Amino acid sequence: MPDDIASGAVKYLSGFSDVTSLLGSFSGSDPVTANQGKPWIFNADPLVDLEGTSSVALVCADYGGWQAPPQLGTWRFGRLSVQIYADPARDSNLNITETSALTIARGNAVLAAMQFRLQRTDPDTVLWGDMVTTGCQLLTDGPWLAVPDGDHMLVKQTFYGVSWSGWTDESE
C-alpha cells in the first residue's frame, strides 16, 4: 500500500536523529520486536500511554487538503497535522518536577528540530516513504494546551501544507 502524507512523514522524520533523540522510545525489551527502541513518532494515533513518562511524542495525521490542485495536473496539496505531546518531568513517585514553562521548552525543542526537517526552502523532490514530495511549508502553529485528564501533559498542534506529485516504486 502506498504511503499517505502521515505515514510518509513518520518514515521521513524517523530518519533524523536530531528529531528522534528528543522523543521517548519503546524499550529495548518491548514484547513487539518491531517496536524495540523505536522512537515515538506515530501515524494517526499515539500508541503509548504517555502520561507519567516524562517524554515527548509526535503524532502525524492526514488532515485533508489546503489548496485545490491544478486542473489536468498531477500535483496534490495535502495538509499534514503534527501533534506534539509533552509529559512533564516527574520523579519516581510520578510527582511533577518541572514547571509548565520547562515542559513547553522541551516540546519546543522537538518543534524546532521537526520544523528544520519539514519546512522546505527549495523545490527539490524529497521522498517521504514512497511519496514524492515537492514542497512543505508551515501553515499554522497552535498554542500549547493541557491534555484533558493528562495530569499536566501538554499538546501542541501544527499544520503543514505538503505538495506532492505521486509515488515511486523505489523500495525502502
In this predicted structure, what is the pLDDT of residue 103?
Answer: 98
Does residue 74 fall inside a structural domain? no
Distance (Å, whole) CA 165 – CA 49? 36
Does residue 172 fall inside a structural domain? no
Does residue 75 fall inside a structural domain? no
| pTM more than 0.75 | yes
The contacts of residue 9 (CB under 8 Å, 6+ apart) are 60, 80, 82, 118, 128, 162
Predicted confidence (pLDDT) per residue in 21-53, tens digit = 999 999 999 999 999 999 999 999 999 999 999
Predicted confidence (pLDDT) per residue in 63-104, tens digit = 998 888 778 777 889 999 999 999 999 999 999 999 999 999
Residue 170 has pLDDT above 70, yes or no: no
Does residue 142 fall inside a structural domain? yes
Q: Give the model's confidence band at 62: pLDDT under 50 very low, under 70 low, under 90 confident, else very high.
A: very high
What percent of the chain has pLDDT above 90? 85
Q: How many domains does the chain have?
A: 1
Cβ neighbours, 10 Å, residue 72? 5
Does residue 46 fall inside a structural domain? yes
Does residue 39 fall inside a structural domain? yes
Distance (Å, whole) CA 152 – CA 51? 9
Q: Coil, helix or strand for 80? A: strand
Does residue 167 fall inside a structural domain? no
Domain that holds residue 150: 5-60+82-122+136-159
In this predicted structure, what is the pLDDT of residue 71?
Answer: 80
